Amino acid sequence: MYYEAIVIGVSSGGMNALKIIFSALPIDFNIPIIIVQHVGAHSDSQWIKLLNEKSHLDIKEADEKEKIEKCKIYIAPPNYHLLIEKDKTFSLTIDERVSFARPSIDVLFESAAEAYKNKLIGIVLTGSNHDGTKGIKRIKECGGLAIIQDPKTAESAYMPNSAIAAIVPDYILSLENIVELLIKIDRQKE
């Protein structure tokens, strides 16, 4: 199966989880990755710089109307919901918080599910609220692939447990096994 995008939702413990994933992805990893990491409204982009130092791929904040490209990792800017339009560009909004969060994982996941349908991989990682649960459910409803971090390996198991309670995931894996699976999926389309 050929996938066009990966969306990742992460909250508490996210920095460590993302470091593990990004440091292990090869430079020729093609599928674009779009992330919502819960951060404070006034967070600076220092943490993105730190992730870039660990990654072989380019990591950047998503910009309004930016076209989603292969071999890139995009992160929702602080205090904005990140949506994916049908033409595979980003849209940023300052609509109300969802699940106490802006950016919201559900907002990203639900818009991505509509844009990519069964060509989308959704991943819920460590976190301490239920954001991402509705979104991963929508991804499954649209035929996408649902991957949840094994709660036993998460710094905060609440978010993975919430997602697992709502759907039957395609995979429940450790971070290292998630990376292995993503690389295998990416190479299948070659």
Tokens 């939702």, located at residue: 9
Question: Does the annotation mark 12 as catalytic?
Answer: no
How buried is residue 181: exposed, middle or buried, by Cβ count under 10 Å (0-12/13-18/19+)?
Answer: middle
Catalytic residue among 55, 130, 131, 186: 131
Catalytic residue among 11, 55, 111, 162: 11
Angle between helices 14-24 and 175-188 (to 10 degrees): 40
Backbone angles phi, psi at 126, to 5 degrees: -50, 145
Question: Does the annotation mark 11 as catalytic?
Answer: yes
Question: Does the annotation mark 106 as catalytic?
Answer: no
Token pair for 142: 């649209």
Catalytic residue among 38, 104, 111, 186: 38
CA distance 135 to 104: 10
Active-site residues, by number, are 11, 38, 131
